Amino acid sequence: SYLIIIHRYQPYYSIKSRNSHKLLEALLCAQSEDRLTVGVYESAKIMTDDPDSVSFCVLAMDEEFECDIALQIHFTLIQSFCFDNDISIVRVSDMQRLAEIVGDKTEQLEDAHCVLITNPAEGSWEDPALEKLHLFCEESRRLNDWVPEISLPER
């Protein structure tokens, strides 16, 4: 006799779309708690000075990325750093939208190609959206998708 087990399968792409709202929620929560670092050079400084404080990394790729060799090198170094330090990392394809989310309403962000979320203060609550994103990244790595792409939700 055979035992047949049927389970509910959730397609990988539907999981990705649900995580777009989790990413937005995590970014807004970190922004409200002053735990965001925006910009490639600013992010590299935080990673060098206090790597244990970094919890999550978002890389935004756009048309500029395709033509900018220096930016590609920075991204490669940031990705390597994240892999070596067990930091979850995702990419988004809309740098302008990311800049709108994490930027100050009074100023236009020039460089939102890299955004870091640092760990919450000792003794404070963990962000549930960020925890779900960590699980998503872990599952993506298991499927050999080392830097999964998440689409940011529309305005």
CATH code assigned at 65: 3.30.1330.30
Q: How many Å apart are CA 137 and CA 150, to the nearest integer?
A: 11
Any domain includes 152? no
Nearest CA among 61, 55, 10, 19 for reference residue 151? 19
**Residue ranges in the chain modelled with pLDDT below 70:** 1-17, 105-109, 123-124
Q: Which residue has the tokens 């978002």?
A: 58
The total domain count for the chain is: 1
- The alpha carbon dihedral of 33, 36, 42, 48 has a sign of positive
Q: Which residues contact 84 (CB under 8 A, 6 or more apart)?
A: none
Domain of residue 65 covers 25-142
Task: Name the 3-class secondary structure at 149.
Answer: strand
Any domain includes 80? yes
Task: Name the 3-class secondary structure at 109.
Answer: coil
Q: How many Å apart are CA 21 and CA 78, to the nearest integer?
A: 24
Per-residue pLDDT, 126: 79
Any domain includes 95? yes
Any domain includes 101? yes
Which residues share a beta bridge with 58? 90, 115
The two structure tokens encoding residue 97: 């939208």
Any domain includes 3? no
Per-residue pLDDT, 105: 61
Any domain includes 12? no
Nearest CA among 100, 117, 93, 152 for reference residue 29? 117
Per-residue pLDDT, 61: 87
